[in-house]
Structure 1
Amino acid sequence: MLIKVSTLVLAIGLVKLVAHQLGWEWMRPNPLVTSLVASTVFLMGFLLNGVLGDFKESEKLPGEIATSLETLGLEIQAIPSHNPVAQVGNHLWAVAELGDSILEWLLNRIPTAELLRRYQQTHGQVVQASVKLGIPPLQARLMAETAQVLKLINRVEAIRETSFITLVYWLATAGIVLLSGSLIFTVTDVLQESIFFIIVITFLLVFLLRLIADIDNPFGHADANSAEDVSIDLLVATVLRLKVMAAGARG
Protein backbone atom coordinates (compact mmCIF):
# COMPACT_ATOMS: atom_id res chain seq x y z
CA MET A 1 0.00 0.00 0.00
CA LEU A 2 2.81 2.41 0.87
CA ILE A 3 4.49 1.87 -2.52
CA LYS A 4 1.26 2.48 -4.44
CA VAL A 5 0.48 5.65 -2.51
CA SER A 6 4.05 6.94 -2.91
CA THR A 7 3.93 6.29 -6.66
CA LEU A 8 0.65 8.19 -6.98
CA VAL A 9 1.92 11.12 -4.93
CA LEU A 10 5.15 11.36 -6.95
CA ALA A 11 3.07 11.35 -10.13
CA ILE A 12 1.05 14.29 -8.76
CA GLY A 13 4.30 16.12 -7.99
CA LEU A 14 5.47 15.47 -11.55
CA VAL A 15 2.19 16.84 -12.94
CA LYS A 16 2.75 20.02 -10.90
CA LEU A 17 6.24 20.34 -12.40
CA VAL A 18 4.89 19.91 -15.94
CA ALA A 19 2.05 22.37 -15.30
CA HIS A 20 4.56 24.96 -14.07
CA GLN A 21 6.90 24.47 -17.02
CA LEU A 22 4.08 24.69 -19.58
CA GLY A 23 2.40 27.68 -17.96
CA TRP A 24 -0.81 25.86 -17.02
CA GLU A 25 -1.00 27.54 -13.62
CA TRP A 26 -4.05 29.76 -14.00
CA MET A 27 -5.42 29.90 -10.44
CA ARG A 28 -4.41 32.67 -8.07
CA PRO A 29 -3.60 31.75 -4.41
CA ASN A 30 -6.91 31.72 -2.53
CA PRO A 31 -7.64 31.38 1.20
CA LEU A 32 -10.62 29.16 0.30
CA VAL A 33 -8.12 26.35 -0.34
CA THR A 34 -7.71 26.21 3.44
CA SER A 35 -11.45 25.57 3.77
CA LEU A 36 -11.18 22.75 1.23
CA VAL A 37 -8.36 21.19 3.25
CA ALA A 38 -10.37 21.52 6.47
CA SER A 39 -13.50 19.93 4.97
CA THR A 40 -11.48 17.01 3.58
CA VAL A 41 -9.79 16.45 6.94
CA PHE A 42 -13.20 16.56 8.66
CA LEU A 43 -14.54 13.83 6.34
CA MET A 44 -11.41 11.77 7.02
CA GLY A 45 -11.93 12.11 10.75
CA PHE A 46 -15.57 11.08 10.41
CA LEU A 47 -14.60 7.97 8.44
CA LEU A 48 -11.73 7.05 10.76
CA ASN A 49 -13.90 7.37 13.88
CA GLY A 50 -16.52 5.08 12.36
CA VAL A 51 -14.25 2.31 11.13
CA LEU A 52 -12.10 2.27 14.28
CA GLY A 53 -15.17 1.46 16.37
CA ASP A 54 -15.98 -1.54 14.16
CA PHE A 55 -12.32 -2.59 14.09
CA LYS A 56 -12.12 -2.60 17.90
CA GLU A 57 -15.25 -4.75 18.07
CA SER A 58 -13.92 -7.06 15.36
CA GLU A 59 -10.70 -7.63 17.32
CA LYS A 60 -12.74 -9.51 19.93
CA LEU A 61 -14.52 -11.87 17.52
CA PRO A 62 -11.73 -14.41 16.75
CA GLY A 63 -11.08 -14.75 20.50
CA GLU A 64 -14.78 -15.20 21.23
CA ILE A 65 -15.07 -17.85 18.51
CA ALA A 66 -12.01 -19.62 19.94
CA THR A 67 -13.49 -19.48 23.45
CA SER A 68 -16.82 -20.96 22.33
CA LEU A 69 -15.14 -23.74 20.35
CA GLU A 70 -12.79 -24.68 23.18
CA THR A 71 -15.60 -24.56 25.74
CA LEU A 72 -17.64 -26.82 23.47
CA GLY A 73 -14.70 -29.21 23.18
CA LEU A 74 -14.13 -29.30 26.94
CA GLU A 75 -17.82 -29.95 27.61
CA ILE A 76 -17.83 -32.86 25.14
CA GLN A 77 -14.54 -34.18 26.53
CA ALA A 78 -16.15 -34.30 30.00
CA ILE A 79 -19.09 -36.46 28.84
CA PRO A 80 -17.35 -39.77 29.80
CA SER A 81 -17.22 -38.48 33.38
CA HIS A 82 -21.03 -38.61 33.40
CA ASN A 83 -21.38 -41.58 31.04
CA PRO A 84 -18.28 -43.83 31.24
CA VAL A 85 -19.23 -45.88 28.16
CA ALA A 86 -19.62 -42.83 25.91
CA GLN A 87 -17.17 -42.44 23.01
CA VAL A 88 -16.67 -38.78 22.15
CA GLY A 89 -13.64 -38.83 19.82
CA ASN A 90 -15.68 -38.27 16.64
CA HIS A 91 -17.69 -35.48 18.24
CA LEU A 92 -14.53 -33.69 19.36
CA TRP A 93 -13.02 -34.09 15.91
CA ALA A 94 -16.14 -32.51 14.38
CA VAL A 95 -15.65 -29.43 16.60
CA ALA A 96 -11.96 -29.23 15.61
CA GLU A 97 -12.90 -29.49 11.93
CA LEU A 98 -15.42 -26.68 12.36
CA GLY A 99 -12.62 -24.53 13.76
CA ASP A 100 -10.50 -25.43 10.73
CA SER A 101 -13.39 -24.51 8.44
CA ILE A 102 -13.78 -21.12 10.13
CA LEU A 103 -10.07 -20.43 9.54
CA GLU A 104 -10.43 -21.40 5.87
CA TRP A 105 -13.45 -19.13 5.61
CA LEU A 106 -11.60 -16.19 7.16
CA LEU A 107 -8.86 -16.72 4.56
CA ASN A 108 -11.50 -16.78 1.79
CA ARG A 109 -10.69 -20.37 0.85
CA ILE A 110 -14.31 -21.50 1.22
CA PRO A 111 -17.57 -19.54 0.78
CA THR A 112 -19.99 -18.77 3.57
CA ALA A 113 -22.49 -21.33 2.25
CA GLU A 114 -19.91 -24.11 2.60
CA LEU A 115 -19.01 -23.00 6.12
CA LEU A 116 -22.67 -23.07 7.15
CA ARG A 117 -23.05 -26.54 5.65
CA ARG A 118 -20.12 -27.75 7.77
CA TYR A 119 -21.57 -25.99 10.80
CA GLN A 120 -24.80 -27.94 10.34
CA GLN A 121 -22.82 -31.18 10.27
CA THR A 122 -21.02 -30.22 13.48
CA HIS A 123 -24.33 -29.24 15.05
CA GLY A 124 -25.57 -32.76 14.37
CA GLN A 125 -22.49 -34.22 16.05
CA VAL A 126 -23.01 -32.00 19.10
CA VAL A 127 -26.65 -33.13 19.31
CA GLN A 128 -25.49 -36.75 19.31
CA ALA A 129 -22.94 -35.95 22.03
CA SER A 130 -25.62 -34.26 24.15
CA VAL A 131 -27.78 -37.40 23.91
CA LYS A 132 -24.89 -39.41 25.37
CA LEU A 133 -24.60 -36.84 28.14
CA GLY A 134 -28.22 -37.34 29.19
CA ILE A 135 -28.32 -34.44 31.68
CA PRO A 136 -30.73 -31.70 30.50
CA PRO A 137 -28.94 -28.65 32.02
CA LEU A 138 -25.59 -29.76 30.57
CA GLN A 139 -27.24 -30.59 27.25
CA ALA A 140 -28.60 -27.04 27.15
CA ARG A 141 -25.09 -25.67 27.74
CA LEU A 142 -23.74 -27.64 24.79
CA MET A 143 -26.44 -26.35 22.46
CA ALA A 144 -26.02 -22.78 23.75
CA GLU A 145 -22.29 -22.81 22.94
CA THR A 146 -23.05 -24.23 19.49
CA ALA A 147 -25.55 -21.43 18.87
CA GLN A 148 -22.99 -18.87 20.06
CA VAL A 149 -20.53 -20.03 17.38
CA LEU A 150 -23.18 -19.47 14.68
CA LYS A 151 -23.98 -16.04 16.10
CA LEU A 152 -20.31 -15.02 15.89
CA ILE A 153 -19.97 -16.39 12.35
CA ASN A 154 -22.93 -14.27 11.26
CA ARG A 155 -21.45 -11.21 12.99
CA VAL A 156 -18.16 -11.61 11.11
CA GLU A 157 -20.04 -12.05 7.83
CA ALA A 158 -22.05 -8.87 8.46
CA ILE A 159 -18.87 -6.87 9.12
CA ARG A 160 -17.15 -8.25 6.02
CA GLU A 161 -20.08 -7.44 3.75
CA THR A 162 -20.88 -3.98 5.13
CA SER A 163 -18.93 -0.91 4.04
CA PHE A 164 -18.96 2.17 6.25
CA ILE A 165 -21.00 4.84 4.41
CA THR A 166 -19.82 4.53 0.81
CA LEU A 167 -21.05 8.04 -0.04
CA VAL A 168 -18.65 9.57 2.49
CA TYR A 169 -15.78 7.65 0.88
CA TRP A 170 -16.71 9.18 -2.45
CA LEU A 171 -16.92 12.66 -0.92
CA ALA A 172 -13.50 12.27 0.71
CA THR A 173 -12.02 11.03 -2.57
CA ALA A 174 -13.58 13.96 -4.44
CA GLY A 175 -12.17 16.36 -1.85
CA ILE A 176 -8.65 14.97 -2.31
CA VAL A 177 -8.93 15.18 -6.12
CA LEU A 178 -10.21 18.78 -6.03
CA LEU A 179 -7.57 19.79 -3.49
CA SER A 180 -4.75 18.23 -5.52
CA GLY A 181 -6.07 19.87 -8.70
CA SER A 182 -6.26 23.28 -7.08
CA LEU A 183 -2.70 22.99 -5.77
CA ILE A 184 -1.40 21.82 -9.15
CA PHE A 185 -2.94 24.71 -11.09
CA THR A 186 -2.28 27.45 -8.51
CA VAL A 187 0.34 29.99 -9.54
CA THR A 188 3.51 29.61 -7.49
CA ASP A 189 6.68 31.65 -7.26
CA VAL A 190 8.86 29.01 -5.59
CA LEU A 191 8.36 25.71 -7.44
CA GLN A 192 10.30 23.53 -5.01
CA GLU A 193 8.23 24.62 -2.02
CA SER A 194 4.99 24.14 -3.93
CA ILE A 195 5.90 20.59 -5.01
CA PHE A 196 6.99 19.76 -1.47
CA PHE A 197 3.69 20.84 0.07
CA ILE A 198 1.64 19.11 -2.65
CA ILE A 199 3.51 15.84 -2.05
CA VAL A 200 3.19 16.06 1.75
CA ILE A 201 -0.51 16.99 1.79
CA THR A 202 -1.61 14.48 -0.86
CA PHE A 203 0.52 11.70 0.65
CA LEU A 204 -1.04 12.13 4.10
CA LEU A 205 -4.60 12.35 2.78
CA VAL A 206 -4.36 9.52 0.23
CA PHE A 207 -2.52 7.21 2.63
CA LEU A 208 -5.07 7.89 5.37
CA LEU A 209 -7.98 7.21 2.99
CA ARG A 210 -6.42 3.92 1.86
CA LEU A 211 -5.77 2.96 5.47
CA ILE A 212 -9.39 3.71 6.41
CA ALA A 213 -10.62 1.56 3.51
CA ASP A 214 -8.32 -1.24 4.71
CA ILE A 215 -9.49 -1.00 8.32
CA ASP A 216 -13.10 -1.02 7.12
CA ASN A 217 -12.63 -4.75 6.37
CA PRO A 218 -10.76 -6.12 9.39
CA PHE A 219 -11.08 -9.67 8.03
CA GLY A 220 -9.24 -9.14 4.74
CA HIS A 221 -6.61 -11.81 5.50
CA ALA A 222 -6.76 -13.20 1.95
CA ASP A 223 -6.08 -9.78 0.38
CA ALA A 224 -2.36 -9.32 -0.28
CA ASN A 225 -2.85 -5.52 -0.23
CA SER A 226 -4.51 -5.56 3.19
CA ALA A 227 -2.12 -4.36 5.88
CA GLU A 228 -4.40 -4.03 8.92
CA ASP A 229 -6.35 -7.17 9.88
CA VAL A 230 -7.43 -8.57 13.23
CA SER A 231 -5.23 -11.34 14.60
CA ILE A 232 -6.47 -14.93 14.26
CA ASP A 233 -3.48 -16.48 16.05
CA LEU A 234 -5.56 -17.35 19.12
CA LEU A 235 -8.09 -19.17 16.93
CA VAL A 236 -5.30 -21.10 15.19
CA ALA A 237 -3.86 -22.18 18.56
CA THR A 238 -7.31 -23.22 19.79
CA VAL A 239 -7.93 -25.41 16.73
CA LEU A 240 -4.60 -27.14 17.31
CA ARG A 241 -5.55 -27.84 20.95
CA LEU A 242 -8.92 -29.21 19.85
CA LYS A 243 -7.21 -31.59 17.41
CA VAL A 244 -4.91 -32.84 20.17
CA MET A 245 -7.95 -33.25 22.43
CA ALA A 246 -9.82 -35.20 19.73
CA ALA A 247 -6.82 -37.41 18.98
CA GLY A 248 -6.50 -38.26 22.67
CA ALA A 249 -10.19 -39.14 22.94
CA ARG A 250 -9.93 -41.40 19.92
CA GLY A 251 -7.02 -43.20 21.54
Structure 2
Amino acid sequence: MKYIINRAIIIKSFIAAMVILGIKNFLLKNLSVYGQDIHDLIELSDITIVFTGAFFVFGLLLAATMSDFKESEKIPGEIASNLEAIKDWIYLAFRAPRTGTTDLCKENLDSPFLRQEMLNITEGIIGWIYSTEKDSNVIFPLIRKSNEIAYYFAERGVDKEAIKGIQENTNAMRKQLTRAYSISRNNFIKPAYTLLQSILMIVMSLLLITKFKTPAADYLVTSAITFLFCYLYLLICGLDDPFDVSDEATNVDLKPIDRFQQRLLSDFLV
Protein backbone atom coordinates (compact mmCIF):
# COMPACT_ATOMS: atom_id res chain seq x y z
CA MET A 1 0.00 0.00 0.00
CA LYS A 2 2.81 2.43 0.92
CA TYR A 3 4.54 1.61 -2.38
CA ILE A 4 1.42 2.74 -4.26
CA ILE A 5 0.99 5.92 -2.17
CA ASN A 6 4.60 6.99 -2.69
CA ARG A 7 4.16 6.57 -6.44
CA ALA A 8 0.69 8.05 -6.73
CA ILE A 9 1.80 10.74 -9.20
CA ILE A 10 3.35 8.18 -11.56
CA ILE A 11 0.28 5.93 -11.38
CA LYS A 12 -2.18 8.79 -11.99
CA SER A 13 -0.11 10.07 -14.92
CA PHE A 14 0.11 6.60 -16.43
CA ILE A 15 -3.66 6.14 -16.13
CA ALA A 16 -4.23 9.53 -17.83
CA ALA A 17 -1.91 8.50 -20.67
CA MET A 18 -3.77 5.25 -21.18
CA VAL A 19 -7.15 7.04 -21.12
CA ILE A 20 -6.08 9.57 -23.79
CA LEU A 21 -4.60 6.78 -25.87
CA GLY A 22 -7.79 4.77 -25.59
CA ILE A 23 -10.04 7.71 -26.47
CA LYS A 24 -7.98 8.53 -29.55
CA ASN A 25 -7.53 5.04 -30.94
CA PHE A 26 -10.88 3.53 -30.04
CA LEU A 27 -13.60 6.13 -29.44
CA LEU A 28 -12.45 8.58 -32.13
CA LYS A 29 -11.14 5.99 -34.57
CA ASN A 30 -14.24 5.89 -36.76
CA LEU A 31 -15.41 9.48 -36.35
CA SER A 32 -14.88 12.01 -39.13
CA VAL A 33 -15.59 15.65 -40.05
CA TYR A 34 -16.32 16.37 -43.72
CA GLY A 35 -14.65 13.11 -44.67
CA GLN A 36 -11.55 13.73 -42.53
CA ASP A 37 -10.87 11.42 -39.60
CA ILE A 38 -10.98 13.33 -36.30
CA HIS A 39 -7.84 11.67 -35.00
CA ASP A 40 -5.91 12.80 -38.13
CA LEU A 41 -7.03 16.43 -38.46
CA ILE A 42 -3.61 18.09 -38.03
CA GLU A 43 0.04 17.17 -38.53
CA LEU A 44 2.41 16.82 -35.60
CA SER A 45 4.81 19.34 -37.11
CA ASP A 46 2.08 22.00 -36.95
CA ILE A 47 1.81 21.90 -33.16
CA THR A 48 5.36 21.27 -31.92
CA ILE A 49 5.66 24.96 -31.04
CA VAL A 50 2.65 24.56 -28.72
CA PHE A 51 4.33 21.69 -26.86
CA THR A 52 7.58 23.68 -26.58
CA GLY A 53 5.79 26.69 -25.10
CA ALA A 54 3.79 24.50 -22.76
CA PHE A 55 6.91 22.81 -21.39
CA PHE A 56 8.49 26.24 -20.87
CA VAL A 57 5.52 27.49 -18.80
CA PHE A 58 5.39 24.29 -16.76
CA GLY A 59 9.12 24.58 -16.12
CA LEU A 60 8.82 28.15 -14.83
CA LEU A 61 6.01 27.26 -12.41
CA LEU A 62 7.84 24.14 -11.27
CA ALA A 63 10.92 26.22 -10.44
CA ALA A 64 8.75 28.62 -8.42
CA THR A 65 7.20 25.86 -6.32
CA MET A 66 10.56 24.12 -5.87
CA SER A 67 12.02 27.22 -4.19
CA ASP A 68 9.34 27.07 -1.46
CA PHE A 69 9.77 23.31 -1.15
CA LYS A 70 13.54 23.58 -0.63
CA GLU A 71 12.92 26.09 2.14
CA SER A 72 10.24 23.87 3.67
CA GLU A 73 12.64 20.91 3.82
CA LYS A 74 14.77 22.78 6.36
CA ILE A 75 11.92 23.64 8.72
CA PRO A 76 11.39 20.23 10.47
CA GLY A 77 15.11 19.95 11.24
CA GLU A 78 15.29 23.53 12.52
CA ILE A 79 12.25 23.01 14.76
CA ALA A 80 13.77 19.81 16.15
CA SER A 81 17.07 21.66 16.79
CA ASN A 82 15.27 24.42 18.70
CA LEU A 83 13.38 21.89 20.81
CA GLU A 84 16.66 20.07 21.49
CA ALA A 85 18.26 23.36 22.56
CA ILE A 86 15.35 24.12 24.91
CA LYS A 87 15.80 20.68 26.43
CA ASP A 88 19.51 21.38 27.00
CA TRP A 89 18.74 24.74 28.61
CA ILE A 90 16.40 22.95 31.01
CA TYR A 91 19.24 20.60 31.94
CA LEU A 92 21.43 23.64 32.60
CA ALA A 93 18.75 25.10 34.85
CA PHE A 94 19.01 22.02 37.09
CA ARG A 95 22.80 22.26 37.36
CA ALA A 96 23.55 26.00 37.46
CA PRO A 97 23.48 27.91 40.78
CA ARG A 98 20.21 29.67 41.57
CA THR A 99 19.78 33.20 42.89
CA GLY A 100 17.04 34.91 44.85
CA THR A 101 15.69 34.71 48.39
CA THR A 102 12.00 34.00 47.88
CA ASP A 103 10.39 30.77 48.96
CA LEU A 104 10.04 29.71 45.30
CA CYS A 105 13.80 30.06 44.81
CA LYS A 106 14.36 27.56 47.58
CA GLU A 107 12.07 24.92 46.09
CA ASN A 108 13.38 22.03 44.00
CA LEU A 109 12.53 22.30 40.32
CA ASP A 110 9.58 20.15 39.37
CA SER A 111 11.02 17.53 36.99
CA PRO A 112 7.70 15.80 36.16
CA PHE A 113 6.10 19.15 35.33
CA LEU A 114 8.94 20.21 33.04
CA ARG A 115 9.06 16.83 31.35
CA GLN A 116 5.32 16.91 30.71
CA GLU A 117 5.48 20.47 29.37
CA MET A 118 8.16 19.51 26.85
CA LEU A 119 6.20 16.42 25.83
CA ASN A 120 3.02 18.48 25.38
CA ILE A 121 4.81 21.10 23.27
CA THR A 122 6.46 18.48 21.06
CA GLU A 123 3.31 16.40 20.62
CA GLY A 124 1.30 19.53 19.89
CA ILE A 125 3.71 20.69 17.17
CA ILE A 126 3.76 17.24 15.56
CA GLY A 127 -0.03 17.00 15.75
CA TRP A 128 -0.39 20.44 14.15
CA ILE A 129 1.98 19.61 11.30
CA TYR A 130 0.15 16.34 10.64
CA SER A 131 -3.25 18.07 10.70
CA THR A 132 -5.04 19.07 7.51
CA GLU A 133 -6.40 22.47 8.62
CA LYS A 134 -3.17 23.93 10.12
CA ASP A 135 -5.13 26.10 12.56
CA SER A 136 -3.17 29.15 13.77
CA ASN A 137 -5.33 29.26 16.91
CA VAL A 138 -3.74 25.97 17.92
CA ILE A 139 -0.06 26.38 17.14
CA PHE A 140 0.72 29.89 18.41
CA PRO A 141 -0.77 29.42 21.91
CA LEU A 142 1.15 26.12 22.01
CA ILE A 143 4.46 27.85 21.28
CA ARG A 144 3.85 30.22 24.17
CA LYS A 145 4.06 27.21 26.46
CA SER A 146 7.82 27.29 25.93
CA ASN A 147 7.86 30.77 27.39
CA GLU A 148 5.84 29.44 30.33
CA ILE A 149 8.88 27.28 31.12
CA ALA A 150 11.04 30.43 31.01
CA TYR A 151 8.60 32.21 33.38
CA TYR A 152 8.64 29.20 35.69
CA PHE A 153 12.43 29.40 35.88
CA ALA A 154 12.46 33.19 36.33
CA GLU A 155 10.20 32.94 39.37
CA ARG A 156 12.60 30.41 40.92
CA GLY A 157 15.85 32.28 40.38
CA VAL A 158 17.21 29.99 37.69
CA ASP A 159 20.34 31.04 35.78
CA LYS A 160 19.49 33.95 33.45
CA GLU A 161 21.38 32.39 30.51
CA ALA A 162 19.05 29.39 30.62
CA ILE A 163 15.99 31.65 30.59
CA LYS A 164 17.41 33.73 27.74
CA GLY A 165 18.29 30.58 25.76
CA ILE A 166 14.77 29.18 26.10
CA GLN A 167 13.21 32.45 24.93
CA GLU A 168 15.56 32.81 21.96
CA ASN A 169 14.88 29.28 20.76
CA THR A 170 11.17 29.78 21.29
CA ASN A 171 11.23 32.90 19.11
CA ALA A 172 13.21 31.07 16.42
CA MET A 173 10.72 28.20 16.51
CA ARG A 174 7.83 30.66 16.24
CA LYS A 175 9.34 32.07 13.04
CA GLN A 176 9.80 28.61 11.55
CA LEU A 177 6.26 27.50 12.34
CA THR A 178 4.89 30.82 11.04
CA ARG A 179 6.72 30.16 7.77
CA ALA A 180 5.32 26.61 7.65
CA TYR A 181 1.83 28.01 8.28
CA SER A 182 2.28 30.60 5.52
CA ILE A 183 3.52 28.03 2.99
CA SER A 184 0.73 25.61 3.84
CA ARG A 185 -2.11 28.14 3.77
CA ASN A 186 -1.04 30.36 0.88
CA ASN A 187 -1.22 28.19 -2.20
CA PHE A 188 0.07 29.19 -5.61
CA ILE A 189 -1.96 31.97 -7.21
CA LYS A 190 -5.20 30.68 -8.71
CA PRO A 191 -4.66 32.20 -12.19
CA ALA A 192 -1.45 30.15 -12.43
CA TYR A 193 -3.39 26.94 -11.74
CA THR A 194 -5.98 28.01 -14.29
CA LEU A 195 -3.18 28.51 -16.82
CA LEU A 196 -1.73 25.06 -16.09
CA GLN A 197 -5.12 23.38 -16.40
CA SER A 198 -5.82 25.23 -19.65
CA ILE A 199 -2.49 24.19 -21.13
CA LEU A 200 -3.07 20.61 -20.04
CA MET A 201 -6.49 20.51 -21.72
CA ILE A 202 -5.15 22.12 -24.91
CA VAL A 203 -2.26 19.67 -25.15
CA MET A 204 -4.50 16.65 -24.63
CA SER A 205 -7.08 17.95 -27.11
CA LEU A 206 -4.39 18.49 -29.74
CA LEU A 207 -2.98 15.01 -29.18
CA LEU A 208 -6.43 13.52 -29.80
CA ILE A 209 -6.63 15.06 -33.29
CA THR A 210 -2.96 14.86 -34.32
CA LYS A 211 -1.81 12.66 -37.19
CA PHE A 212 1.35 10.57 -36.85
CA LYS A 213 3.31 8.78 -39.56
CA THR A 214 2.96 5.33 -38.03
CA PRO A 215 0.69 3.67 -35.43
CA ALA A 216 3.74 3.01 -33.24
CA ALA A 217 4.61 6.71 -33.23
CA ASP A 218 0.98 7.50 -32.44
CA TYR A 219 0.94 5.24 -29.39
CA LEU A 220 4.37 6.24 -28.07
CA VAL A 221 4.24 10.01 -28.59
CA THR A 222 0.63 10.45 -27.43
CA SER A 223 1.15 8.42 -24.26
CA ALA A 224 4.57 9.93 -23.51
CA ILE A 225 3.50 13.57 -23.86
CA THR A 226 0.29 13.00 -21.88
CA PHE A 227 2.26 11.24 -19.14
CA LEU A 228 4.85 14.02 -18.90
CA PHE A 229 2.38 16.91 -18.76
CA CYS A 230 0.11 15.16 -16.24
CA TYR A 231 3.14 14.28 -14.13
CA LEU A 232 4.37 17.88 -14.15
CA TYR A 233 0.94 19.22 -13.24
CA LEU A 234 0.49 16.79 -10.32
CA LEU A 235 4.05 17.43 -9.16
CA ILE A 236 3.51 21.20 -9.07
CA CYS A 237 0.24 20.75 -7.15
CA GLY A 238 1.97 18.48 -4.64
CA LEU A 239 5.03 20.69 -4.15
CA ASP A 240 2.79 23.71 -3.62
CA ASP A 241 1.85 22.38 -0.16
CA PRO A 242 4.81 20.37 1.16
CA PHE A 243 3.18 20.09 4.59
CA ASP A 244 0.16 18.22 3.24
CA VAL A 245 0.91 14.89 4.92
CA SER A 246 -1.97 13.19 3.09
CA ASP A 247 0.22 13.34 -0.04
CA GLU A 248 3.25 11.30 0.97
CA ALA A 249 4.81 11.53 -2.48
CA THR A 250 5.60 15.26 -2.20
CA ASN A 251 5.53 16.14 1.52
CA VAL A 252 8.62 17.17 3.48
CA ASP A 253 10.44 14.65 5.65
CA LEU A 254 9.26 15.01 9.25
CA LYS A 255 11.69 12.46 10.69
CA PRO A 256 13.80 15.05 12.59
CA ILE A 257 10.83 16.00 14.78
CA ASP A 258 9.63 12.41 15.13
CA ARG A 259 13.10 11.26 16.19
CA PHE A 260 13.37 14.11 18.70
CA GLN A 261 10.08 13.03 20.24
CA GLN A 262 11.43 9.49 20.61
CA ARG A 263 14.56 10.78 22.36
CA LEU A 264 12.44 12.99 24.59
CA LEU A 265 10.28 10.07 25.68
CA SER A 266 13.23 7.81 26.36
CA ASP A 267 15.69 10.00 28.26
CA PHE A 268 14.40 13.47 29.19
CA LEU A 269 14.18 13.89 33.00
CA VAL A 270 13.26 10.24 33.39
TM-score normalised by structure 2 residue count = 0.82
Distance in 2 (CA, whole Å) between partners of 1:20 and 1:188 is 14
* Partner deviation per Cα, 1:154-187 (whole Å, 9 max, x = no partner): 1110111122333223212211211211121134
Query: Structure 1 counterpart of 2:156, which letter?
Result: K
Pick from 62, 68, 71: which aligns with 1:48? 62
Distance in 1 (CA, whole Å) between partners of 2:11 and 2:44 is 32
The answer as to 2:31 corresponding to 1:22 is yes
Structure 2 residue ranges without an equivalent (≥5): 1-7, 33-37, 99-106
Query: Structure 1 counterpart of 2:54, which letter?
Result: T
Distance in 1 (CA, whole Å) between partners of 2:237 and 2:177 is 22
Contact 1:27 1:185 in 2 (8 A): yes
Contact 2:211 2:218 in 1 (8 A): no
Query: Structure 1 counterpart of 2:96, which letter?
Result: H
- Match of 1:101? 124
Contact 1:126 1:142 in 2 (8 A): yes
Distance in 1 (CA, whole Å) between partners of 2:212 and 2:167 is 70
- Match of 1:33? 47
**SS in structure 2 at match of 1:164:** coil
* Partner deviation per Cα, 1:48-93 (whole Å, 9 max, x = no partner): 1111111111111001000101100110121121247531421232
Deviation at 1:139, TM superposition (A): 2.2
Distance in 2 (CA, whole Å) between partners of 1:200 and 1:104 is 40
Structure 1 residue ranges without an equivalent (≥5): none
Deviation at 1:201, TM superposition (A): 0.5
Contact 1:82 1:133 in 2 (8 A): no
Deviates more, 1:203-212 or 1:236-245: 236-245
Distance in 2 (CA, whole Å) between partners of 1:39 and 1:226 is 30
- Match of 2:207? 183
Distance in 2 (CA, whole Å) between partners of 1:33 and 1:226 is 36
The answer as to 2:14 corresponding to 1:6 is yes
Distance in 1 (CA, whole Å) between partners of 2:154 and 2:250 is 40
Deviates more, 1:9-18 or 1:87-96: 87-96
**SS in structure 2 at match of 1:218:** coil
Deviates more, 1:169-178 or 1:54-63: 169-178
Query: Structure 1 counterpart of 2:41, which letter?
Result: M
Q: How does 1:68-147 map to 2 (within 5 A)?
A: 68-83=82-97, 86-89=108-111, 90-108=113-131, 111-147=135-171
What's the % identity of the aligned pairs? 21
* Number of residue-to-residue matches in the alignment: 246
Query: Structure 1 counterpart of 2:18, which letter?
Result: L
- Match of 2:81? 67
Query: Structure 2 counterpart of 1:107, which letter?
Result: Y
TM-score normalised by structure 1 residue count = 0.88
Deviates more, 1:32-41 or 1:164-173: 164-173
Contact 2:14 2:227 in 1 (8 A): yes
* Partner deviation per Cα, 1:129-154 (whole Å, 9 max, x = no partner): 24334443442222111122211111
- Match of 1:243? 265
Contact 1:72 1:142 in 2 (8 A): yes
Deviation at 1:105, TM superposition (A): 1.0
Compared with structure 1, are the counterparts of its residues 226 and 138 closer, same or farther at alpha carbon in structure 2 (3 Å cutoff)? closer
